[in-house]
Amino acid sequence: MYAIIEACGRQYKVEEGESVFFEKLGEEEGKKVSFDKVVLVSNDGKVEVGTPYVEGSKVEGKVVSNGRGKKILVFKYKPKKNERKTRGHRQDYTKVEITSIKTK
């Protein structure tokens, strides 16, 4: 059984028992979170697609940890002008373990 949910402006495919990295949710470790915006649910080959969301479906999970991703470097320059900028960025994330997928 899997579901496609909408969270943090993106869509994620989740299964029970799986750990998923979301953009920072702002929840503390150990707290439970639920996602109501379920776009699709597949249960033993039976697929239910929402318009835009599946009515009465919910995905629940538990926050495992909060952290920061690897640093990426952004380098901008303009040729022949001696303009150069180097910037770094580390994205905050929340690791969530999916505990259950509930349907009607």
- Provide the percentage of residues in the chain whose pLDDT is more than 90: 96
The Cβ-side half-sphere exposure at 25, using a 13 Å CA radius, reads 24
- Residue 77 in tokens: 């320059």
Q: Where are the domains of the chain?
A: 2-66+94-102
- Residue 84 in tokens: 């150069």
Write down the pLDDT at residue 45: 87
* CA–CA distance, 34 with 58 (Å, rounded to integer): 7
* CA–CA distance, 62 with 97 (Å, rounded to integer): 5
DSSP-derived secondary structure for 61-72: EEEEEEEE---E
pTM for this model (two decimals): 0.83
* CA–CA distance, 20 with 90 (Å, rounded to integer): 18
User: At which residue do the structure tokens 């995905």 appear?
Assistant: 59
Write down the pLDDT at residue 96: 97
- Residues 49-91: tens digit of each pLDDT: 999 999 999 999 999 999 999 999 999 999 999 999 999 999 9
